[in-house]
Amino acid sequence: MATTNSSSPDPLLLFRQSIAAGGQPTPTTSPDSDEEVPLSKATHLIFLHPTRVSIPIDTQTRFLSAEGKQVGLRSIYFTWINRDITIPAYNSAAEKLNNELEGNKEAVHSCSFVERLNLVTWLEGAGDETEFIKPIGGGPGGKGGQGLIKKGGEGGEFGGGRSGRGGKGTLDPRLAQIYEGERRMGDRNSVLRGIKPTDFSHIRKLAAQFMTRKPGHHSSSAPGGAPSSSNPITNNPSLPINPKQVRRPDPIILLSPSASSILRMSNAKQFLEGGRYSPPENIVPPPTMLNVSRLIKEMDPNRPIRFILVETPEQFKPEYWNRVVAVFTTGQAWQFKSYKWPNPTELFKHVQGVYLGWRGEQPPESVRGFGHKVLCCSVEKWRDPTQPGAEQSRWRDREVVEGIWKAIEGNMRAKGWKRDAAPKEI
């Protein structure tokens, strides 16, 4: 089993750079070969961005599983190339690959739903913070190499005001590791607190009985008769001494898995993010989740909020339901059987409902019976773009999308979504 050392480039950082440059590594049978081979027979991965680098495929990476075990480079590559398949198909592919591997090779780690989501998001550059990636040089979790990659796939260039081999504005991966290992100077508070901040809030509860003002006791006065300032801890016992910053989870939107739905995983991103409707495509297998971004100025005027789109809650943990902000429905009751609230009337008391149909057609009777918490909207029927005037009817799509987002944002504000916090219960 190979491990990374101080003289070798970081495999995860190289992987992310290759994706940002519009490519991905190639599995080969030797460090000098460029011929791609099946993953079960590969011994090395060849990276071409920013320079050609060969790394043994059984090298352990900084990605840690939920059990705290290091995940090998073969498992990282396997998860990336199978990022769009369903979870049952992914598990079957992992089992098949493990059967093909020889006995002296490490088995592929089958990532869970959360591990897979975090890994793919980090490799794509859509997120810089994840609890599953061990930092380089002791920085915050998951930020190893953060800020070194220019998003958007611009040739794998680096920023940060440093330059090295490879030309102006670029940084050698080895130098990137060295810079990440630099000792960062802290201020007085960070030095005194040590490596891990200590929470002394329990001391406040013990001291409260001694600091309570007794009858007939007068507070000391400052010179000139002005009363001294009161203790802020006594005045506000709920004030935390050392609040911990918690990253806000991404809100979730559930789409209808019905074949009659005109909004599916294949066309939802273009519609909700681009403001243009196109018919769903028959993709086999369809993606299990998507990410769409939306700038909500009332919550965070500087950064778009990322929404996760899924069709089924089969992989949900109980706390995931507090992150659901909208449910798209066609009115079919079987859609809600596996939901936390299988009764549609009860469901739409907690979550914003959306029905999307064709303009000129009435919503189904079942949808109208769900109540006012289900937004009914419609788009123009799809016409072949080659037909005269087909494109002229699509200008209303953006208006419909903005109406949907307005309803979702209003429900989020009512439930307590903020720039850095999500509701504990909806």
Q: Per the CATH hierarchy, to which homologous superfamily does domain 252-415 belong? A: RNA polymerase II accessory factor, Cdc73 C-terminal domain (3.40.50.11990)
Apex 53 CA angle, 47 and 58, nearest 5: 80
Q: Which pLDDT value is given to residue 301?
A: 86
CA distance linking residue 270 with residue 251, whole number of Å:
18
Query: For each successive 10 residues of the chain (426 residues), what is the average pLDDT?
Result: 62 87 87 87 85 88 87 90 88 88 79 86 78 69 44 39 45 71 63 61 79 55 47 50 68 93 91 90 81 90 91 90 94 92 92 94 91 90 77 84 94 89 86
| 351-381 tens-digit pLDDT | 999 999 999 999 999 999 898 889 999 998 8
CA distance linking residue 242 with residue 157, whole number of Å:
39
Q: Which pLDDT value is given to residue 141?
A: 45
CA distance linking residue 267 with residue 278, whole number of Å:
6
Side by side, the strands of the sheet bearing 290-294 are 290-294, 305-310, 252-254, 324-328, 352-358, 374-379
DSSP readout, 200-228?
-HHHHHHHHHHHSPPTT----B-TTSPBP
The two three-digit tokens of residue 113, written as one number? 């739903």
| 121-140 tens-digit pLDDT | 888 887 667 788 888 764 44
Q: Which pLDDT value is given to residue 400?
A: 94
Every domain of the chain with CATH number 3.40.50.11990 lies at 252-415
pTM, full prediction: 0.45
First to last CA, the chain: 47
DSSP readout, 304-329?
PEEEEEES--TT--GGGGGGEEEEE-
Q: Which pLDDT value is given to residue 104?
A: 64
C-alpha of 420 from chain center: 14
Q: Which pLDDT value is given to residue 246?
A: 63
